[in-house]
Structure 1
Amino acid sequence: MPDPPRPRPTLTSVRDRLRALLPSAELVDEGDEPPGRRSLAMFLSLVVALVMWFSFSMRETYPLTMRMPVVIAQTPPGSALRSRPPEVATVTLRGEGWTLLSLTRRTPTITVDAESRVVSLAAALSELGLPDGIEVQAVTPQAVELDLDTETNRRLPIRLRERIGTEVGFDLLRPPRLSPDSVTVTGAQSLLGTLDSWPTDLLVARDVEDSFTRIVALADTFGGLLRPSVEATRVQVDVGEFTEGFRDLQVEVENVPPGVLGVRFDPPRVRAVFRVPAAGDTYDRALNSPRVRAVVDFFDIARDTTRQDGQVPVSPRWPDNLDIRNVTLQPARVGYFIQRPAAPEPGDGGE
């Protein structure tokens, strides 16, 4: 014969037990108790009652619906995901309150090792190893069809995303150098075919006046669908102080067609203002190199529809091995006059 159910504790019985544990409270008649002590006793009684009620309630069986992350840990051999499957599944469980509470504190992850294009989340959930007494009542979706493609790999250059600003009077001596500067990326063939480089996270540096080295992580722009062979690259940024220089240059003309003796310019010389690194011999070379020139392209003269002695733009030229920057010419446009052969005098043809 089953035991009769035990009566649940009431607020009155809990209060009586509490007063039994505090004999000092019995020395004073209830009507003579100070209001503060009486309020404290009532508050403690209420707390104990709530704790006992919660403890007994959590031993009951309840349903619980929760969202569990879904991770495709492995795809069929030779294949790779082309798009992400559902990232969560809605699972309805039933079990004892205490056990369900422990699940909500650390949500399980449904990990799937796919052997075919269609995977069963219900089967994967049954192998998850849920605590004893937990019953799975429903899973949505029950199965997922994976979007698969042929797996391949490509070697791609690493593209640095940067926002580097220098102090006034300083500049980068050369583009930032990466080590490694390329990465092998593995994944779906159709995704890799759209790429020409692999970006990094954004490197931000402000008011820089010294060279520095930074480890920069590679960006995950495909949400884990593609796997790079390295996770970061070492970036070397070389910064130096710059100074301003200027020199006067004779205006030259290029691409002169046959039948034109030359072109005169007004003014015949322009001033080139530029910035160069303060260290080394770049400054002296910029002032003396004959390969620093001011040039007018005759095609610009031919396209000029204003008038014969209009104005055309002047362009600076300098050798690639000479680090000259921010070159401006003063003035940037000059007037011109085309010199052509003199026309023959009438009757000079002879008989």
Structure 2
Amino acid sequence: MRFQDIPARLFRSLFKKRPDEWKVILLCMGVAATIWLLNKLNRDYTTRLSYPIEIDYDQSEVIPILPPPKSVEVNVTGYGWNLLRQSSWLGKRPLRYTPSNLPATRYITNAQLYPAVQEQLPDLELNFIVQDTLFLDFDARARRKVAVVVDSQKISLEEGYRIVSPIRIEPDSVTFVGAASRLDDLPPFLMISIREKEISEDYEEEIELDYPQDNLATLLTPQVRVSFETALFRQQSIQVPVRVRNVPSQLKQPILRDTTVLVNYYINTERPTTLTVDSFQVTANFRQLNEDSTLTLTLSRTPANVFNVTLRPVRIPLRDSL
């Protein structure tokens, strides 16, 4: 029989075994493996282990900017059984270490860790800690209030409607908690927008504060209530006489080509008020005569319940012969 035929014959013979013969073979293999493992575990070895560590700190006082280290690499010597237990998670009790003077402390040296790690490994000889330094990045936990304002320029109202009350925000400020350095970067106020279009009635809604958050800056109040009142305004007009001031005594009256001006205004239809020419006052100051011999008109008195008051025209020329 040639040497190269031996593996093939052995392979074929294995498949010719009866089930009870297979049981004997497997049993023998298991016993042999167990004896080999027990023999190996009864010796001393030197190896590297990853040991879990928990950085203990007062969560009400400081907050980690970066996650603290979760493990430390150690070089140890010990009995095989003890090394097996420590290399699995079954026998590991995480090392709890409390750094002093947080958040000022930025690192932990292996010399500081050595006594605590050795105490956690009583059955092993700690040769050294692999890392020279474990780095920390903590910040003081703080609170900061930020005002909330509504972008009133972007409130969409139906044509003819106006806001007739203060815009109320409840609460008018919100509180952030988190890392002090992160809170220092917050804006002085949070601007919120009202998304509804063509509002034509009194408004009162809860608005979510759309501000990016994470574990370094958390918003305690996620929403505010915004309310205001609206009213429908209609355009009206009235002719108002122009009062001229500081007219030189040698000039004849009247000195203006037109003595009245058209005043256009919007008035609240829900609170109608009868307005007269005396409700408005339009003046022209002769000392401010323009180079084109016109006087610029100024609206010096308007009623409190009108909006968007305009004059037409805004300048009146002098008479040709004065």
- Change in 2 beyond 3 A, CA 1:212/1:292: same
Q: 1:115 aligns with which of 102, 127, 137?
A: 102
- Change in 2 beyond 3 A, CA 1:165/1:153: closer
Q: Following the alignment from structure 1 to structure 2, what is the Cα–Cα distance between the partners of residues 182 and 289?
A: 45
Query: Is the counterpart of residue 159 in structure 1 residue 149 in structure 2?
Result: yes
Query: Residue 151 of structure 2 aligns to a residue in which SS?
Result: strand
Query: Is the counterpart of residue 143 in structure 1 residue 133 in structure 2?
Result: no
CA RMSD of aligned residues (A): 5.4
Q: Following the alignment from structure 1 to structure 2, what is the Cα–Cα distance between the partners of residues 141 and 252?
A: 83
Q: Which amino acid aligns with 1:327?
A: V
Q: Which amino acid aligns with 1:288?
A: T
8 Å CA contact 2:66, 2:136 repeated in 1: no
Within-5 A mapping of 1:336-351: 336=318
Q: Following the alignment from structure 1 to structure 2, what is the Cα–Cα distance between the partners of residues 166 and 207?
A: 4
User: 1:275 maps to what in 2?
Assistant: 266
- Percent identity (aligned): 16
Q: 1:295 aligns with which of 272, 275, 283?
A: 283
Q: Following the alignment from structure 1 to structure 2, what is the Cα–Cα distance between the partners of residues 226 and 263?
A: 70
Q: CA deviation at 1:173?
A: 1.9
In the alignment, structure 1 segments of 5+ residues that lack a partner are 6-70, 100-111, 124-136, 341-351
Query: Residue 290 of structure 1 aligns to a residue in which SS?
Result: helix
8 Å CA contact 1:75, 1:113 repeated in 2: no
Query: Is the counterpart of residue 312 in structure 1 residue 295 in structure 2?
Result: yes
Q: TM-score, normalised by structure 2?
A: 0.50
Q: 1:324 aligns with which of 287, 295, 306?
A: 306
Aligned length: 229
Query: Between Structure 1 and Structure 2, whose CA radius of gyration is higher?
Result: 2
8 Å CA contact 1:74, 1:114 repeated in 2: no
- Change in 2 beyond 3 A, CA 1:258/1:230: farther
Q: Which amino acid aligns with 1:159?
A: V
Query: Residue 288 of structure 2 aligns to a residue in which SS?
Result: helix
User: 1:177 maps to what in 2?
Assistant: 168
User: 2:236 maps to what in 1?
Assistant: 245
8 Å CA contact 1:252, 1:296 repeated in 2: yes
Q: Following the alignment from structure 2 to structure 1, what is the Cα–Cα distance between the partners of residues 109 and 166?
A: 53
Once the two structures are superposed, residues 266-320 of structure 1 have per-residue CA deviations (whole angstroms, 9 ceiling, x without a partner) of 22111011111111133x2xx226241222345532xx3x25x2x233233444x
- Change in 2 beyond 3 A, CA 1:207/1:184: same
Once the two structures are superposed, residues 127-173 of structure 1 have per-residue CA deviations (whole angstroms, 9 ceiling, x without a partner) of xxxxxxxxxx98x9822264x69x7877x754223431111222222
